[in-house]
Structure 1
Amino acid sequence: MNEVPQQISLTEAKLGDNVTLTCAIFGSDPRLFYWFKLNFGYMVQTVAKGSFGQISHQFNNSRFSATKVGNVLSLIIRNVSKEDEAMYFCQAGSSFSVSFINGTILAVNDPKTQHKFVTVKIIPDHLGDTIAVQCSLLSKNKNDPDQCPDEDKVHWFKGASESHPGIIYYGSIRNKEDGRCDYSLSKTRTHSSDAGTYYCAVITCGEILFGEGTKVDIRKKWDPVVIVLGMLLALCVIVIFFLLCFVFLTLECTDMEHRDPSFFFTTSRI
C-alpha cells in the first residue's frame, strides 16, 4: 500500500523579514540531510547539505544558513527578497536510502505590489464528474489594459493527493474586467486520486503571487444499480420475515386442531 505524501505547506513573509523553515525528523538520527530550493522555471538548487550532524555545504549566499539541533533541521533566510520565493524541500536518510521529509512554499509579500489574490473557490462535484477550481487576481490599477498575466504564466499545482505532488500547467481566463482576473482549472472524469489541496501561482511584474490553498474532496456518487439492489434486498428480507410469521402461525393452528379436546378442560372431584 502506497503512503500518501504530506501536504506542502505555505509560509508567508514580508520583504526584509527573517524566515526559519524547520524539518523535524522522527526515528533514528539521519546520517545525510539536504535542503533543496525549487523555483518555477529553474532547475533544483542544493541550499545546504550535511552528514553525521555536521553541515558540509551551504548555499553561496550569506543570507542563507542551516543548522541541526537534535533531530530538527532548520533553514534560516535573513532579509528575504522576492528572489527567495520558491518551494523548499528537506531530505534526509542514510547512505542507502533517503526520502523527502516535508516541503514548504515561501511567498514573499511586497506591500508595493499592484496585485493581490482573493479566496480560491471550488465547484464541488462527485466522483466521475467535472471539478472546477478558481482563483481571482485583483489589480489596484483598474485602468491597466494588461492587468491580467497571460495563461502561460499561471501555474496550478496540487499539494497533496494519493499520487505524488505535481504541477499542472493548464487553465483559462474566465473574466478580465474591472481590475479582476479570474483563472480556472477544470478536470473532467475525476478520480479519487484527484482529491487534495490545489494552489495557483501567477507570475506577474517580476514576482510570483500565490493563491490560497483549497482542499478538494471527491465524493463518491451512489450507483443507481447499487441503490436498486439494496432496495430489493430489503424487500426480500421483509417478505421472508412475513413468510416465517405465516408459517409459524399455520403450524400453531394445525397443532391445536389435532389436540384432544379434553386437553382444554379440567375436572375436579369432591
Structure 2
Amino acid sequence: MSRLCLALVLIQALDTVDIGHPSRLLHAHLGDNVTLQCFYPDRNSYISWYKLTVGQKPQLVSTIYKYDGGATFPSEFKDNPRFTVQSGNGFFHLHISNTQPYDSATYVCGGIHVNVMEFKNGIILILKGSSKTVVQQPVSESVQPGDSVTLNCTIHTETCAGEHSVYWFRHGSGESPTGIIYTNGDRRDQCEKSPEAGSHTQSCVYNLPKRNLSLSDAGTYYCAVASCGEILFGNGTKLEIDRK
C-alpha cells in the first residue's frame, strides 16, 4: 500500500480527532504567509498534517515517510501551490502562503507508531481582515464563583444559502485544552436582514449563557461562525473568575 493510500485509509476512519493536548492559537491577516511547526519523536515513521474545520470531517493535507523524505498530498492540496512542506530530522513543517478566509481551521500533525496514530498539539489558525465581521461582547468579564454570565457573538455578513452555524470554544491557561464546548447548529432564524433597499447583508446574534461558574471556567471564549463557505472567528471574550 502506498504512503498516500495508507494515509487516506486512516483519515477516512476519523470522524473526529481528539488532539489530547492543549491547542495554541495563531493569529494572522488574510494574505499573510504562515508556518505551522510539527516536531515528532524518532519512533514515528509516517507523519501527517490534518485540517480540521468545524462542522466538517477532517481533511488530510500531507503525509511524509521519514525514511525517504518524500511528502505526498491528496489531490485538493497537491494542485494548490499555496500549501508546501519542509521536512528534516524530527520535523515536518507546513507552510501556507497568501492565506485565504477558508484557511481558518485547526491544523494537527500526527505520527504513526505501531499502527497507532499519535496526535501532537493542534494549531488554531485565526485569520483577520475579511469584509465580514464578528463582534464579541463583552471584551472581558470578571465574576465570582457561582455567578452567571451571558457571552454575546454578533456576525455581520452577506445573506447566502447553505449552512450557517456557530461554535463556541474556550482557550484556557496552562494545561487547559482548547476545544469546542457548544454549538448552535444551523440557526439562521437568529438573523435579521439589513433594512436598506437592495442590501444583501444581515446581522446574526448568538448568546452563550454560563451559569454557576467555577474557577475551571476561566479562559478566553471564542465564537466561530460557519457562513457562506468561510469560518469567521471573533476576537474573544476573556472570562476571569475571582476567588472569593
User: For the superposition of Structure 1 and Structure 2, which TM-score range results when normalised by the shorter chain?
Assistant: 0.5 to 0.7
Structure with higher RCO (Cα < 8 A, 6+ apart): 2
- Give the aligned partner of residue 59 of structure 1: 74
Could you tell me how far 1:9 is from its partner in structure 2? 0.8
Per the normalisation by structure 1, the TM-score is 0.60
Of 27, 30, 34, the match for 1:14: 30
- Give the aligned partner of residue 85 of structure 1: 104
The verdict on how the C-alpha distance between 1:71 and 1:123 changes in structure 2, with shifts beyond 3 A counting, is: same
Could you tell me how far 1:119 is from its partner in structure 2? 5.4
Of 51, 59, 62, the match for 1:48: 62
Q: Work out the CA distance in 2 between the residues paired with 1:150 and 1:200.
A: 19
Could you tell me how far 1:117 is from its partner in structure 2? 3.1
Code of the residue aligned with 1:125 in structure 2: it is V
- Of Structure 1 and Structure 2, the greater helix share is in 1
Contiguous gaps of at least 5 residues in structure 1: 222-270
Query: Superposition pairs for residues 7-156 of structure 1, below 5 Å?
Result: 7-15=23-31, 17-25=32-40, 28=42, 30-52=44-66, 54-60=69-75, 61=77, 62=79, 63=81, 64-92=83-111, 94-95=113-114, 98-109=117-128, 113=131, 115-118=132-135, 120=137, 121-138=139-156, 153-156=165-168
Higher Rg = 1
Moved more, 63-72 or 39-48: 63-72
Tell me if structure 2 keeps the 8 A contact 1:123–1:132. Answer: no
- Of Structure 1 and Structure 2, the greater strand share is in 2
Tell me if structure 2 keeps the 8 A contact 1:127–1:190. Answer: yes
The verdict on how the C-alpha distance between 1:130 and 1:174 changes in structure 2, with shifts beyond 3 A counting, is: farther
Tell me if structure 2 keeps the 8 A contact 1:123–1:133. Answer: no
Could you tell me how far 1:79 is from its partner in structure 2? 4.0
Q: Work out the CA distance in 2 between the residues paired with 1:164 and 1:83.
A: 20
Could you tell me how far 1:101 is from its partner in structure 2? 2.3
Code of the residue aligned with 1:137 in structure 2: it is I
- Give the aligned partner of residue 159 of structure 1: 171
- Give the aligned partner of residue 232 of structure 2: 209
* Percent of aligned positions that are identical: 30
Tell me if structure 2 keeps the 8 A contact 1:130–1:189. Answer: yes
The root-mean-square deviation of aligned C-alpha atoms, in Å, is: 3.9
Contiguous gaps of at least 5 residues in structure 2: 1-19, 196-201
Could you tell me how far 1:48 is from its partner in structure 2? 1.5
